[in-house]
Structure 1
Amino acid sequence: MPYSLNQLLNRLSFRQLQVFKAVAHHLNYSRAAEELGLTQPAVSAQIRQLEQAMGQPVFEYVGKKLYVTAAGEQLSRTVDTMFTDLERLQMQLAELDGQVRGELRLAAVSTAQYSVPYLLESFLEAYPQVDVSLTIVNRAQAVERLNTNQDHLVIMGMVPESRNLNTLPFLDNIMVPVVRSDDPLLQKENLSTQDFFNARLLMREAGSGTRHALEVWCAQNRLKLAPRLELGSNVAIKHGILAGLGVGVLPRLSVTAEIKLGQVTIPELEGFPLRRSWCVVYPASKYPTPVMQAFLDHARSSTRELAQRVYGDEA
């Protein structure tokens, strides 16, 4: 027989719900324990107590893989709502006290890691009581995190058109062709964009925003891409260029130091630089928390100052 509401409230604890949320996210007891700073037996004990209070299992193993049960799915939706409401309450109480305080979970595509710190520096100076966590992902992972609502806000360049999203552009992402300064390619007269793409091109992996932007632009301009190597980060491509493996297209910000040192050169090619925008993105159905709204307002008002700080005279 199910417990009454009062009985259930007496048996459940917020700690159990917090542990459940972590296990449901990771589908792994060990990773949940690591996230929460607990031992795996402690996590298992909390879940057993939760299941006893619920009167039903919330997880089950099929083979060696952990799954959420139907009861667990119902609980997950309720817990997400509860924790969101509590988070909003915390921020609203801070607002009543004349402060912006709370948590801000950001995810950013890897190309944005060169610009986001500048934005965060001025934001945290204005709102020192906000706790920010930043996760760096590729574009495919960013889209997945948007779909599963893992973050308050996502920072990306190529925004999906298939979803109803609110989008705030805040800074140009200037993408340039990059060649090692002693590469013989630079001696070629009338170097064309297609010549550049044919010259041992190093490219990001499938799912990367940089690669997606380049593929879309090349398709629009009837240019062919024939990558020599696929590498998993812009840093890896930069070092591949420095090692003489080939050429690449990178965010201008990622090679600022190497340009100043004379290690790499940006050749003048038709169609370049490519200009895209880094954007702050969140689902249109999502109501911004006070901290989210403060970050959005700050990004909107800082656009010109941020461009000057990041690009200087090139802004």
Structure 2
Amino acid sequence: MNYTLNQLRIFLAVVKSQSVTKASEELHLSQPAVSIQLKNFEAQFDIPLTEVIGRKIYITDFGREIATAAESIIEQVHAINYKTLAYKGGMTGKLKISVVSTGKYVMPFFLSDFLSKHAGIELLLDVTNKNRVLESLENNEIDFALVSILPTTINIDRLDLLPNRLFLVGKAGQKVKIKNDVKEQFQSLPLIFREKGSGTRLAMERFFSEQNITVVKKMELTSNEAVKQAILAGLGYSIMPLIGIRNELSNHELEIINVQGLPIKTTWSLVWLAEKKHSPASLSFLEFVSSRKSAIVEQNFSWCEPYYN
């Protein structure tokens, strides 16, 4: 047999996702490239590793045994790399962070300098909705989570990073008539919601509940980007985090509509389980963010301040 580490990684990705398409997206490879490597890997075995029924790929029992062995091999390769870097005096290990979807506009700025200084640290970053983030946190599957709404059922410690503000946003130039009655204002607008489980959706619903506002939901979309595109197409309005619409505001494609009671004010916070035993890598990251957060915010998020006044 003459399989490669790359083929092992590809096979593991296919096993975990049970989809060549999803594996190619996860690995940032083309679908044909994944299919070819998977075929070449399977050709080295006399017993099938996968089987395709209809358009769905299934992993055979033998394939799952090979996947377990492959995962062990990959882990050993990582261990060799970590030991080499550690011997040279470098920080090594994995850093596992789960981020609510809008947090993708925040987290990279707190990671960039840290990872450039510690090449031996492998980052596992999951960008998903609030429910999945909290599930990963509660199950101790991650070192840190980035949230804008703190969990109330999990015992956590936290480090506040920067303010989060959510405004009513519409397509530029639509000339919305501002009404004195906030209830009447929202009842006259077609509103676009994020999906259930989203922190932005929760913030919107809390605002409407506190204001005793009944609204008509125009549509529900599953990402911040999808909401932006719908607003740009003139399909409606939404309450959105300022952090995610910088370019559209600068390009005069979207505009903030000043409404009584807005913006909604929350805080971006890095959170972790209160009894978490940090690895050297996660502890080093926490110390880095604690000491550098003011400079990072000043350098990368000062553009937000005029909108807070």
**TM-score normalised according to structure 2 size:** 0.69
In the alignment, structure 1 residue 303 sits paired with structure 2 residue 293: yes
What letter matches 1:267 in structure 2? N
Check conservation: 1:179, 1:267, Cα contact below 8 A. Answer: no
Cα distance between partner residues in 1 of 2:136 and 2:204: 23
Partner residue, 1:274? 264
Check conservation: 2:98, 2:128, Cα contact below 8 A. Answer: yes
In the alignment, structure 1 residue 181 sits paired with structure 2 residue 172: yes
Over 3 Å counting, the alpha-carbon distance change for 1:258 and 1:114 in structure 2 is same
Q: Which runs of 5+ in 1 are unaligned?
A: 1-17, 44-82
TM-superposed CA distance for 1:255, in Å, is: 1.3
Over 3 Å counting, the alpha-carbon distance change for 1:230 and 1:125 in structure 2 is same
Aligned-pair identity (%): 26
TM-superposed CA distance for 1:112, in Å, is: 0.3
Q: Secondary structure of 2:275's partner?
A: coil
User: Which string of whole-angstrom CA distances, capped at 9 and with x for unpartnered residues, describes residues 277-302 of structure 1?
Assistant: 12222222320111111111222223
Cα distance between partner residues in 2 of 1:274 and 1:173: 8
What letter matches 2:148 in structure 1? G
Partner residue, 1:290? 280
Cα distance between partner residues in 2 of 1:194 and 1:95: 63
Cα distance between partner residues in 2 of 1:91 and 1:286: 23
Check conservation: 1:154, 1:282, Cα contact below 8 A. Answer: yes
Check conservation: 2:94, 2:122, Cα contact below 8 A. Answer: yes
Residue in structure 2 matching 1:112, options 93, 103, 118: 103
In the alignment, structure 1 residue 236 sits paired with structure 2 residue 263: no
- Identify the range of structure 1 (291-300 vs 192-201) with the bigger mean alpha-carbon deviation: 192-201
Q: Secondary structure of 2:176's partner?
A: helix
- Identify the range of structure 1 (167-176 vs 98-107) with the bigger mean alpha-carbon deviation: 98-107
- Structure 1's consecutive aligned runs of 4 or more residues displaced over 4 angstroms after TM superposition are 21-28, 87-98
Q: Secondary structure of 2:94's partner?
A: strand
In the alignment, structure 1 residue 129 sits paired with structure 2 residue 112: no
| Count of aligned pairs | 300
Q: Quote the RMSD (CA, aligned, Å).
A: 4.7
Check conservation: 1:91, 1:290, Cα contact below 8 A. Answer: no
Cα distance between partner residues in 1 of 2:115 and 2:233: 38
User: Which string of whole-angstrom CA distances, capped at 9 and with x for unpartnered residues, describes residues 256-285 of structure 1?
Assistant: 111122242332433x21121122222223
Q: Secondary structure of 1:118's partner?
A: helix
Check conservation: 1:200, 1:228, Cα contact below 8 A. Answer: yes
Cα distance between partner residues in 1 of 2:287 and 2:275: 18
Partner residue, 2:150? 159
Cα distance between partner residues in 2 of 1:157 and 1:181: 27
Cα distance between partner residues in 1 of 2:93 and 2:199: 30
Partner residue, 2:250? 260
Over 3 Å counting, the alpha-carbon distance change for 1:91 and 1:161 in structure 2 is farther
Check conservation: 1:186, 1:267, Cα contact below 8 A. Answer: no
Over 3 Å counting, the alpha-carbon distance change for 1:191 and 1:303 in structure 2 is farther
What letter matches 1:123 in structure 2? F
Over 3 Å counting, the alpha-carbon distance change for 1:149 and 1:125 in structure 2 is same
Cα distance between partner residues in 2 of 1:89 and 1:167: 33
Check conservation: 1:171, 1:306, Cα contact below 8 A. Answer: no
User: Which string of whole-angstrom CA distances, capped at 9 and with x for unpartnered residues, describes residues 89-148 of structure 1?
Assistant: 997996786432222122211010111121112322343332223221011111222233
Partner residue, 2:55? none
Over 3 Å counting, the alpha-carbon distance change for 1:265 and 1:160 in structure 2 is closer
Cα distance between partner residues in 2 of 1:230 and 1:31: 24
- Identify the range of structure 1 (221-230 vs 285-294) with the bigger mean alpha-carbon deviation: 221-230
User: Which string of whole-angstrom CA distances, capped at 9 and with x for unpartnered residues, describes residues 57-102 of structure 1?
Assistant: xxxxxxxxxxxxxxxxxxxxxxxxxx99xx9999799678643222
What letter matches 1:111 in structure 2? T
In the alignment, structure 1 residue 196 sits paired with structure 2 residue 186: yes
What letter matches 1:282 in structure 2? W
Cα distance between partner residues in 2 of 1:194 and 1:296: 46
Q: Secondary structure of 1:176's partner?
A: strand
